[in-house]
Homo-oligomer: A and B are copies of this chain.
Amino acid sequence: MIVKVTVTLKNGVLDPQGRAIEAALKGLGFDGVAGARVGKLIELEVADGTSRETIENMAKQLLANTVIENFRIEMP
């Protein structure tokens, strides 16, 4: 089964990628861009029956740096 883990920076954490995108969009002439934040969308193909707890452990141990990032799990 496919499980989706979305990893995003916590509020208040500087997002250099987002800043770069914001500046580049303005440079391309797109007005009205007030901000951009970039996160990761990780799609895991795991064995059926894998528990949410196991996915949380994967996120805490590897997929997200929980000091500066939040993660959200979408199970099928």
Q: A69 an interface residue at 8 Å Cβ cutoff?
A: no
- Tell me whether A42 and B46 are in contact in the complex, defined as CB-CB below 8 angstroms, given that A21-B63, A58-B25 are known contacts: no
How many positions in chain A have a CB within 8 Å of any CB in the partner chain? 32
Q: Are B34 and A47 in contact, CB atoms less than 8 angstroms apart?
A: yes
**A76 contacts chain B at the CB level, 8 A cutoff:** no
Mark contacts of A24-44 with chain B using CB atoms, 8 A cut-off: 1 yes-contact digit, 0 otherwise.
Answer: 110010111111111111111
Task: Give A13 Cβ to nearest chain B Cβ, in Å.
Answer: 14
Which of the residues B31, B36, B54 comes within 8 Å of A30, measured between beta carbons?
B54
A interface with B by C-beta (< 8 Å): 6, 8, 18, 21, 24-25, 28, 30-47, 50, 54, 57-58, 61-63
